[in-house]
Chain A
Amino acid sequence: MGFLDIRNVTKSYGQLEVLHRVDISVEEGEFLVLVGPSGCGKSTLLGMIAGLEGISSGEIAIRDRVVNGVHPSKRNIAMVFQSYALYPNMTVGQNITFGLEMHGVPKAERDKALAEVAKLLQIDHLIDRKPGQLSGGQRQRVAMGRALVRDPDVFLFDEPLSNLDAKLRVDMRTEIKKLHAKLKRTIVYVTHDQIEAMTLSTRIAVMNKGYIQQLGTPKEIYDSPANVFVATFMGSPAMNVVPARIVVREDRPYAEVVLGDGAKSLLAFSQPGLASYDGHDILLGIRPEAITDPEGADRKSQNIVSLKNRVIVTEPAGSDTFVTMSLGGKDVIARMRADVDIAGGDDFEFAVNMEKAVAFDPKTEERIRP
């Protein structure tokens, strides 16, 4: 029994099922991020938790109370919307306390709660302004204040940062993380931005086409993706996924890949269990940061394999240099130190950290876990 239980929940519009049997149990104080491309059903799921969308089958329970059919205002949740949804005719103070007023909280208590929240979010000086007179970041704070003041069981965030400019978004992200660390409240947060998902969450549910693709901690999702979709969706640049074949030499499994010049090279796997897949075609997944120059390789890794290949192009990005080469007929991006000395056309000795490599079934695109 979790704090917020989503049990076998589906959503259909007529014959069309848009959300398929979602099953998530959220513990108290958890920060769950629902992430996925647009149309994956993440906002629908959030709307169902909020009570703004009906539940076609299954049940949602908050603190062991099934809330199917319970009005949104009686679920003890609060929501922050993408557009902030501030009432334009009310001042900041009235916006924040509107929910309390609707719940019949006396004026004195409302004012006290408002003062506390305004202080916490540093918007004390804006209390008497109208939303139209605020900047994007200030509106964002007011929207959060409106959620905080209710002191709900569960906070729901619907892409709250996507309307902010890039710099402010990073600032507010840190702000939200701090707030969660301080208040330790249960949060369900929807975003399409995988960096927000990685940085904020204690757990991530990666969604696509109405299915939960994988549910796990950010580290599990990143290091051990369940399928090709999760592997390529999370991380920027995306994980390199290239066709390869498993060959076994002296009981040890290797990935045989085609280099840029058509020659073949063997990369030793760290998982001995893959030996039972001798001769199988696979998709080999390697994160860009697992391919470096020999000096930049991870010293803790037990399995650095060197690979000679031609560099196609380099992209210095300031903090890193991205180096593109060809493996298995696909462009593969390596993330290297900023001051690495390579140019396009060079033959270079890459260091591949095969401890971090994963193998996928090319047909089902599911992870091969020996």
Chain B
Amino acid sequence: MSAVSQDTAVRTGRVTRIFIYLVLLLFALFYLLPLYVMGINSLKPLPEITGGNMMALPKTWTLDAWRSAWSTAQIGVSPTGLKPYFLNSILMVVPAVAISTIVGALNGYVLTKWRFRGDTIVFGLMLFSCFIPFQIVLIPMALVLGKLGLAGSVPGLVLVHVVYGIGFTTLYYRNYYATFPTELVKAAQIDGAGFFQIFWRILLPVSGPITVVSVIWQFTNIWNDFLFGVSFGGTSQPMTAALNNLVQSSTGVKEYNVHFAGAIIAALPTLLVYVVAGRYFVRGLMAGSVKG
């Protein structure tokens, strides 16, 4: 209380304050409700769900559903669980995020510090790619992947996501580097540093905040993508496509507890990324917007 009243000139009464906190609490509970339902039901045996209350706590706690979702559940035609698809997703996400971030950083560096005739047009065209819906490019993309011999493979998916991500990462880095003093680049030139040395030694060490933004953005988007995964994944489909196969299977009993566990497993990596780097995310998004 006292700390707040020191920071703000506006004083609020005790009653108002309690009311505000109550409302906030209510909203927080409301938003946490789905996670609660998923969590407790993934820890129940199936009969407890079909015959009982979705909201109730488990009578017998069990991790069977998690084990099943991870390694034995029926995905499509084979009982592999989500494990191989999870690995596919990792194999796709890590290089795709890394490559698109590095290329975006280089683009931003060139577009702000090595300006050339028509650079704003190039940047404008790259920005344009941020506004193209996924569905439009499906067929041309399939053609290109086929010609490259990458159809239905993890490298193919990596290529698709890199191409789609470069627009965003370039935008982030360009705007970040635009606020970076050009005199520093000139000083480094006089000091004898080359193109990549300036990038590596001068710009990259101060690019932490925007790199976090770029990585979180790319990671979330690529991990959560379903359309490209299901269209171009072929035999190496990512997590999202597998989850869909698990949950939407039209034969056999609906194993809700396994579905819930699978859904949580699918969401865990993005949650982890936010928990680890979330506070830098906001910092990076705000970078340059306020002086000092």
Contacts and interface: CB of A to CB of B under 8 A. Distances in A.
Interface of A: 50-52, 71-74, 77-79, 81-83, 85-89, 98-99, 102-103, 146
Given A81-B183, A102-B197, A89 B205 contact: yes
Interface in B180-195: 181, 183-184, 186-193
B63 interface: no
Contacts of B186: 50, 52, 72, 79, 81, 85
Residue of B183, B188, B191 ringed by the most chain A CB atoms within 10 A: B191
Contacts of B267: none
12 contacts: A52-B186, A73-B190, A79-B186, A79-B190, A81-B183, A87-B184, A87-B202, A89-B205, A89-B206, A98-B191, A98-B201, A102-B192
B176 to A, nearest CB: 14
Contact of A73 (B183, B184, B192, B202): B192
A85 B181 contact: yes
A87 B201 CA distance: 9
Contacts, number: 56
Nearest to B191: A99
A89 B187 CA distance: 14
Given A87-B202, A89-B206, A102 B191 contact: yes
B190 A83 contact: no
Contacts of B181: 83, 85
B202 to A, nearest CB: 6
Nearest to A82: B183
Given A85-B183, A89-B205, A89-B206, A52 B189 contact: yes
B205 to A, nearest CB: 4
A185 to B, nearest CB: 16
Most central of B186, B190, B205 by chain A CB within 10 Å: B190
Nearest to A99: B191
**Interface of B (DSSP majority class):** helix
A77 B184 CA distance: 16
B245 to A, nearest CB: 48
Interface residues of B, number: 16
Contact of B190 (A77, A82, A86): A77
Interface of B: 181, 183-184, 186-193, 197, 201-202, 205-206
B189 A72 contact: yes
Nearest to A75: B190
A82 B191 CA distance: 16
In this complex, the member of A74, A88, A102 whose beta carbon has the largest number of chain B beta carbons within 10 angstroms is A102
Nearest to A77: B190
B187 to A, nearest CB: 4
Contacts of A71: 189
Contacts of B188: 87, 98
Contacts of B193: 73, 98, 102
A89 B202 CA distance: 7
Contacts of B189: 52, 71-73
A98 B188 CA distance: 8
Contacts of B205: 89
Given A85-B181, A88-B206, A79 B192 contact: no
B283 to A, nearest CB: 16
Contacts of A98: 188, 191, 193, 201
Given A89-B205, A89-B206, A102-B197, A78 B184 contact: no
A79 B191 CA distance: 9
Nearest to A79: B190
Contacts of A78: 190
A99 B192 CA distance: 6
Nearest to A47: B186
A89 B198 CA distance: 12
A247 to B, nearest CB: 56
A62 B12 CA distance: 71
A50 B186 CA distance: 10
A136 B188 CA distance: 21
A98 B193 CA distance: 9
| Those 8 A-B pairs whose CB atoms lie nearest each other, nearest first | A73-B192, A99-B191, A102-B192, A89-B205, A85-B187, A85-B183, A72-B190, A81-B183
A87 B190 CA distance: 13
Contacts of A86: 184
B287 to A, nearest CB: 14
Nearest to A71: B189
A229 to B, nearest CB: 29
A178 to B, nearest CB: 24
A85 B202 CA distance: 11
